[in-house]
Amino acid sequence: MTTRETGWRRDRLGLRVWPHRGKVAIVGWGMSPVDRRWDGVSMDKTLGAYGILAIQRCLEDAGVKAEDVDGLLVCPETGAGATGGSSADWGPTRPYFAPPYDSEWGLSRLNAKWLTQNTPGLKNVKYAPEQVPAIGEEMGMAAEAVATGRCKVALLIYGMNNFEGRYRQGGQNEDDHARGDRQWSAPWSTADWLQLSGAVYVQQYCQKYGGTWEELLGPIVVNQHRNGLLKQPSDYEGWGYYAKNGPSGLTYEEYVNARPVIWPSRIWDCDRPCHSVGAFLFTTAERARDMRQKPVYVMNHNEGSARAQRSSQQVLEDAEEGRAWVAKMVYEGSGWRPQDVDIFNPYDGYSMFLPLSLEAFQWHGVKKGEAKDLVKGDISVKGPHPFSSGGGNLGNGRTRTAMYIDSIQQLRGTAGPRQVRVKAETAICAYAPGVAASYICLANSPS
Amino acid sequence: MPKLIPVADEQSKPFWDAANERRLLVHKCTACNTLQFPPQPTCRDCGSAKLEWTQASGRGHILTYFVVHDGRFGRRMADQPYNVAVIALDEDPRVNFYANLPGVPPHQVPVGAAVKVIFEEVEGGQLVPDWQVVR
Ligand SMILES: [Zn+2]
């Protein structure tokens, strides 16, 4: 099967409460070490080796044998190539090694075939789609696969690779010409639409609602780093780049004085590309009851959907409207209201996404223009408003797994030094921003 | 500043041809009478495919801006840091354009100021719209 299955997606209003709400659970997670990039020689640190390690840690966490896994969802896009950058050219030209490292599979990329061939005991996989989307949609796809009986015990694998070279410089970004849709932006602008859009709408936000960029985003970025360092021995190496490799914390002054990238965004507004693999185990709520861990039930998933932007550049009103639409779908499908959400781990590839997601979901009653007020108070995990308790990608490196791991731990009550002091019975976590965002709603009770 | 060179296609050719005559075109939906830019196969407001090119006033205001210090285009590396402003068109502020605002030093962009369209030649002779602060 090479076409992507899409019938399972929940991407529009009017779908009502997810029919499988509370009938699927996440029963395990595992995470490899988080490195900056592979060193090119250590065969125990390839993306493949880290994938196997993440699977073993996940199964150990769940108390499930590899032989019991019958579903395997692996996103093959690990950040290598595709959108420019030296990676696009480097991969195919390097010398390879003896099997299983005789191609990019296992070195910088992962798929179900490579992992089933190389992970001990993983021999009863019956459901392993080739076309698997990135982690946010992958979560929804795994939940649906279990809910609809395509498999009973599903492993979800998500790896991130980071090649040598400046991030996404090179490739098509070296082209002197602006082709296709790029003819409407590239002559004047630069390539990362998400980053420059954030620079636009956050400045408009400050113009409209008051305050400065630094006052709005500084406390958020510092909080992400603080949360990313709050790890415990049972967190392996720390499931975060900074927890394992430092630096040990970021101050407001360091944030403000950091070098600009797309000004006013600074280097600390951007997540740091890393080399890591995360694994999550899904099964039916019925099976989950007898497993090692307290089940974390899936209450809804939502995939958002790209909508054509109004003009050359998305502006604040577009960003607010798109996010409000996504939040409405997420709440409709979960049957929740904003006051029902305890843990909120939105996506932060760039810090600029966070205040708008906070306001769109009205977490802790925060409405349009009010994120700037919330961040003036205590948003740490010790306080009354533990915003983004996992530390996200900014506080952990770009693993894209922190939001999910933290939410699972908070609902189990095993987050250790990160455990919030307020109620932790429900969680919303995300991958990707704006209208393309994918959300999953989790709870420690199925009803 | 050596801008990237736009490559016209079937849909965009009238726009770039008009730019060479120092005219700024936008799409107009003849079904609901709204302006649209960049061009799309159908109207963003009503979904109609009845779109035609029309000449814009060339007058606008600066909504906001950012400054590219560490961008990704090889061709623009030597220009860094450079301003990128977002210009709202006066006859419909929902229609916006990018601008480098030639002559305005990096970080010195007067947000809210009135601007008018100008045209700048890129390598190969194509004229590309940009915008200039009206003093
Ligand atoms: Zn129309």
Positions of chain A with pLDDT under 50: 1, 82, 84-90
Touching B: A residues 285-324, CB under 8 Å: 308, 310-313, 315
Does residue B81 lie within any of the structural domains?
A: yes
Instruction: Confirm or reject contact between A199 and chain B (CB < 8 A).
Output: yes
Give the closest of A178, A191, A200 to B66, CB-based: A200
Q: Determine whether A214 is exposed, middle or buried from the number of CB atoms within 10 Å of its CB (0-12, 13-18, 19+).
A: middle
Do residues A255 and A261 touch, judged by C-beta distance below 8 A?
Answer: no
Does residue B115 lie within any of the structural domains?
A: yes
Does residue B2 lie within any of the structural domains?
A: no
Chain A CB contacts of B119 below 8 Å: none
- C-beta atoms of B69 and A261 within 8 A: yes
Residue A299: strand, helix, or coil: strand
Q: Give the CA dihedral A120, A122, A123, A128, nearest 10 degrees.
A: -140
How many angstroms does the Cα of residue A298 sit away from the middle of ligand 1?
41
pLDDT for A168: 66
Q: What is the CA radius of gyration of chain A?
A: 21
pLDDT for A212: 98
- C-beta atoms of B81 and A312 within 8 A: no
- Condensed to tens digits (0 to 9), the pLDDT of residues A163-212 reads 877 666 677 888 999 999 999 999 999 988 889 999 999 999 999 999 99
Do residues A389 and A410 touch, judged by C-beta distance below 8 A?
Answer: yes
Give the closest of B7, B69, B84 to A177, CB-based: B7
Chain B CB contacts of A199 below 8 Å: 66
Give the closest of A179, A204, A313 to B7, CB-based: A179
Chain B CB contacts of A315 below 8 Å: 63, 86, 96
Size of interface A-B (CB pairs under 8 A): 125
Does residue B36 lie within any of the structural domains?
A: yes
Instruction: Confirm or reject contact between A200 and chain B (CB < 8 A).
Output: yes
pLDDT for A244: 87
Chain A CB contacts of B71 below 8 Å: 190-191, 262
Nearest-Cα distance to chain B for A398, in Å, is 19
pTM: 0.96
Burial string for B20-44 (b: 16+ CB within 10 Å, else e) reads eeebbbbbbbeeeebbbbbeeeebb
- C-beta atoms of A313 and B81 within 8 A: no
Does residue B28 lie within any of the structural domains?
A: yes
Does residue B8 lie within any of the structural domains?
A: no
Give the closest of B4, B64, B107 to A186, CB-based: B4
Has the ipTM of the complex gone over 0.95? yes
| Nearest CA among A142, A164, A31 for reference residue A88 | A164
How many angstroms does the Cα of residue A112 sit away from the middle of ligand 1?
46
How many angstroms does the Cα of residue B58 sit away from the middle of ligand 1?
22
Q: How far is CA A308 from the centre of its chain?
A: 23
Q: From B65, which residue of chain A is nearest by alpha-carbon distance? A: A200
Does residue B24 lie within any of the structural domains?
A: yes
Question: What is the extent of the structural domain holding B33?
Answer: 13-133
Query: How many domains would you assign to chain B?
Result: 1
Nearest-Cα distance to chain A for B77, in Å, is 10
Nearest-Cα distance to chain B for A269, in Å, is 13
C-alpha span between A272 and A333 (Å, rounded): 33
Chain B CB contacts of A306 below 8 Å: none
Query: Can you say whether residue A388 is alpha, beta or left, with left for phi > 0 and alpha for psi between -120 and 50 degrees?
Result: left
Do residues A169 and A85 touch, judged by C-beta distance below 8 A?
Answer: yes
Chain B CB contacts of A168 below 8 Å: 72
| Nearest CA among B14, B15, B36 for reference residue B95 | B36
pLDDT for B100: 98
Instruction: Confirm or reject contact between B24 and chain A (CB < 8 A).
Output: no
Domains of chain A from N-terminus onward: 24-168+273-288 (3.40.47.10)
Instruction: Confirm or reject contact between A177 and chain B (CB < 8 A).
Output: yes
C-alpha span between B64 and B97 (Å, rounded): 11
Nearest-Cα distance to chain B for A11, in Å, is 19
Give A145's contacts (C-beta < 8 A, 6+ positions apart).
A8, A71, A73, A127, A151, A154, A282
Nearest-Cα distance to chain B for A217, in Å, is 16
Touching A: B residues 43-102, CB under 8 Å: 44, 63-76, 81, 84, 86, 94-100
- C-beta atoms of B123 and A203 within 8 A: no
Query: Which residue reads 């929740």 in tokens?
Result: A336
C-alpha span between B125 and B102 (Å, rounded): 18
User: Which of A311, A314, A317, A318 is most worth mutating to test chain B (most B CB atoms within 10 A of its CB)?
Assistant: A311
Q: From A308, which residue of chain B is nearest by alpha-carbon distance? A: B44
pLDDT for A3: 65
C-alpha span between A445 and A220 (Å, rounded): 30
Amino acid at site A178: A
Does residue B4 lie within any of the structural domains?
A: no
Positions of chain B with pLDDT under 50: none
Instruction: Confirm or reject contact between B132 and chain A (CB < 8 A).
Output: no
